[in-house]
Structure 1
Amino acid sequence: MHCTFHGFTMATRSSDKLKGPHAKKKKCNSCVEVNQEMKDLVEKKFLVALPQDFYDFWQFLCEIDEANPNNVLQPSKIRLGGPFDLLLGKSSSEDSDYLLHHRFFCDPPEFQTVIISTEENCEEHIGYYRDDPSQEPAFLALSHGGDTCRLLPLGDNLFAAVHSYILQAKNSSPASEKLMNNIKKVAKRKGYEIGNQTAKMVARKKKVVSKSFHTAGIVVPVDENGVGWREISLTDSQLKKLFGSILKEDANSSKSVDELQEIITYVQFANDECDYGQGLELGIDLFCYGSEKLHGYIHAVLPMAYSLLGYNAFETIILAHLNRRSRGLCNYLT
């Protein structure tokens, strides 16, 4: 028996529910499945389609505590974030609020937060990373937030990512151990691999053209003649030194600005020859360096790179983020 209510399908079941740390003694005979209308709304608001494991994880939590799915994650000091808050009934009248909700200072457009830490003064968050906004995410990664741009892969599905995070955490408890066991059971039943280096992730590594400052790697379309990608003339360490010199605003800053302008000119030449990946790498590195003083240079290369690659969603996200780039946890949905 099914009935639809506020974007969710309530399906009665006769089978026992998976019990978690907050399961009630009385058996619950309903689960929450997100219908297509709600999935379409999520994609419309966040500009990317969420994969099936996102909705399967939501259903897993709701089967344990339908009234408040976050209760299931509470023992591990994490909670749902990002697009999950739309499923929880939160909203905003401003479209850009959805794009910036739980988007931390150094989160590139490719990264979409879905889990955040509840620990005080902690900005750790887990998100999907995708190379192309029209495709499935490549994996999920952990960001420590703040001025740290590094993204640490946790798995290629949300069950694996949360399991890996809890496993690595220092706040293990019987309740979190029980949650990990439940996650493994459901993941196995649904065919999700638990592990932070799956075959899918290893295959992607072979396509990475540059690690970039966030170390998650950049993948761009490259044809059989190598068109699509061109290396920047400086190494990562040399780029960081160059950006740092510009920010110091000392006697050498003018020379460093000229050098960066020259690199941007080379990016424009690369764009003319369809090597769009060079501008993407430079723009991402400028963004990940983490200074508002570099926003003018980011504007000059990164939106154009996304546009030329056909990644219009990423272009919209980066422009919204640069317009309201804030430090700390950004709660825009209420």
Structure 2
Amino acid sequence: MDSLYEKYQKDIRMPCKYGAKCYQKNPVHCGKYKHPPTKNKASQGDRQPRKKIKLQVKAPTTQNDSDSDSNAEPSNSNLPEKVVNNDVSESDEDSMNNYVSESDEEAMNKDVSDEDTNKMNMLKSDEETENKYTSELNEENKKNDVSESDEETDEASMKTALLNDKNEATFIKKHFLTDMPQDFYQFWDFCRNIKPENPREALKPIGLFLVGPFDVLAGKFWDAEPDSDFLIHWRYFRDPPELQTVLKGDASTGYHIGYFRDSPDENPVFLVNNQANKDGILHQMGSNIFAAVNFYLEDLKKSGDPFKKMYIGKIQSALKSEADKLKIDLSKKTPSMVAREKKIVTRTFNKIGLVVPYDKKTEQGYRALALNNKDLNTLFTKLQNSKTEEEKEKYLSELQPVLTYASIATDECDFGTGIELGWNIISHGVECLNFSASRFLKLNYELLKREAFGQIAVAHMKNRRKGSNLSIL
């Protein structure tokens, strides 16, 4: 017994919070924490395993009979037999003296030194202190339904899952609510060839950085908090839900490039750029990210920046070579982009044009807002620049017919009207209407079966951030 307690005290591992009642069998847990020996383990460490002993129960006798028969052999009559239970508490030790084997008697009759007694008392005290928290910890484990070994396994599984393209794509779909097209992954490989140690900075010499879903490919989300809001990761102040940023540029203007899609279940039709600190206008940049960067380089040539010019030729040459090898179209306008133009039901503040299902015969799916774009823009500006509550209330009352009309349009299945209103609020930048934008967009996206865009709109309007430092990491 003494040797086991000495080993426990000398053990350099941390004591387990669960103490002697720990139920963990995981080798990782057992290798990290030490556990006080139980009474059974302690006794087994110093002697052979205890055998079950069959005992005979004597019939009650008087005191005289007991004295006279004290030296007699026990009778082998047909009396019921009992089996001794090895797990006996300290309070029963005195009564056990009559029901133990010779080897047990010998072990229990050994003199215990004061040092042994002190050790046992210390261990008992430590065990009681550790076990104070056992019930609370057990309750917490039940709520989380995850053991320590499960958490370690989950963390390892997540890291393993992000090592291949299939799982990275699944991760992006789960947290960003959209699938990324093939050219997105091809462009990542292109950047890895340019700068293997840090592909996100492969285009740093020309002022571009890979962001958004590219951070997943870079493994930056392994340590992200579980409740992190991925939907606002690199979402700029004037971005509609249809825009997913993948490249950031000049921070002073809020320049960024992203994929634009009309439905969350469809591949992007093209990429756009925007200067969020200037306005909400979106500019088309080709149908894939190679084309978008190529047109960025063409514009950069006109800027006359001598520090970037020396890198333009080298990067553009490599990009065109890779696009040619992959048979990627670098045209600024493709047939699919031309086809989309024919589906636009209205030109919005962001100039990109709204595409929603529209029946020309019944004229159902969209109706124009109560105010034209010019008048609505003026009203938004007045509302945004209001200096007093009285002014703000005045302009809100002027806007009320527009909101009411958009609500009626939704009721009558013209879902594009509410989306146009939400887009215009975001593009203009008027912040006091964030809730209205969220409400109109969420409802109409859901009715159009574009629920993912509704979730993005709600998350964005709840935490609409200005500036260019928009990472959640």
Residue 377 of structure 2: aligned partner: 240
Residue 471 of structure 2: aligned partner: 332
Q: Distance in 2 between matches of 1:96 and 1:221?
A: 34
Return the match for 1:209 from 345, 364, 384: 345
Q: Is the Cα–Cα contact under 8 Å of residues 367 and 414 in structure 2 kept in the other structure? A: yes
Residue 110 of structure 1: aligned partner: 242
Residue 296 of structure 1, CA deviation: 3.1
Q: Is the Cα–Cα contact under 8 Å of residues 422 and 440 in structure 2 kept in the other structure? A: yes
Query: For 1:128, what is the secondary structure of its paired residue?
Result: strand
Where do residues 180-195 of structure 1 align in structure 2 (5 Å cutoff)? 180-195=316-331
Residue 227 of structure 1: aligned partner: 364
Where in structure 2 are there 5+ consecutive unaligned residues?
A: 1-158
Return the match for 1:142 from 273, 276, 279: 273
Residue 224 of structure 1, CA deviation: 4.6
Q: Is the Cα–Cα contact under 8 Å of residues 151 and 214 in structure 1 kept in the other structure? A: yes
Return the match for 2:442 from 300, 303, 311: 303
Q: Deviations over 1:73-114 (max 9, x none)?
A: 122111101100111111222455311111111111111100
Q: 1:244 to 1:64 in 2, by over 3 A?
A: closer
Residue 407 of structure 2: aligned partner: 268
Residue 145 of structure 1, CA deviation: 1.7
Q: Distance in 2 between matches of 1:131 and 1:298?
A: 18
Which segment drifts farther, 43-52 or 58-67? 58-67
Q: Is the Cα–Cα contact under 8 Å of residues 228 and 472 in structure 2 kept in the other structure? A: no
Q: 1 or 2, which has the higher strand percentage?
A: 1
Which segment drifts farther, 167-176 or 192-201? 167-176
Q: Is the Cα–Cα contact under 8 Å of residues 105 and 147 in structure 1 kept in the other structure? A: no
Which segment drifts farther, 247-256 or 35-44? 247-256
Return the match for 1:294 from 433, 442, 450: 433
Residue 228 of structure 1, CA deviation: 0.9
Q: 1 or 2, which has the higher helix percentage?
A: 2
Query: For 1:127, what is the secondary structure of its paired residue?
Result: strand
Q: Distance in 1 between matches of 2:360 and 2:472?
A: 45
Query: For 1:317, what is the secondary structure of its paired residue?
Result: helix
Letter of the 2:220 partner, please give it.
K
Q: 1:268 to 1:333 in 2, by over 3 A?
A: closer
Q: Deviations over 1:21-78 (max 9, x none)?
A: xxxxxxxxxxxxx521111111111110000010010111113332221343122111
Query: For 1:327, what is the secondary structure of its paired residue?
Result: coil
Query: For 1:173, what is the secondary structure of its paired residue?
Result: helix
Structure exhibiting the larger radius of gyration computed from Cα positions: 2
Q: Distance in 1 between matches of 2:396 and 2:472?
A: 39
Residue 258 of structure 1: aligned partner: 397
Q: Deviations over 1:277-320 (max 9, x none)?
A: 01100111112111221223223422212121121111111111
Q: Distance in 2 between matches of 1:49 and 1:194?
A: 22
Q: Is the Cα–Cα contact under 8 Å of residues 237 and 426 in structure 2 kept in the other structure? A: no
Residue 154 of structure 1: aligned partner: 285
Q: 1:155 to 1:266 in 2, by over 3 A?
A: same
Query: For 1:115, what is the secondary structure of its paired residue?
Result: strand
Residue 189 of structure 1, CA deviation: 2.1
Query: For 1:315, what is the secondary structure of its paired residue?
Result: helix
Q: Distance in 2 between matches of 1:331 and 1:232?
A: 32
Letter of the 1:86 partner, please give it.
V
Are positions 1:173 and 2:312 aligned together? no
Query: For 1:155, what is the secondary structure of its paired residue?
Result: coil
Residue 207 of structure 1, CA deviation: 0.8
| Aligned sequence identity (%) | 36
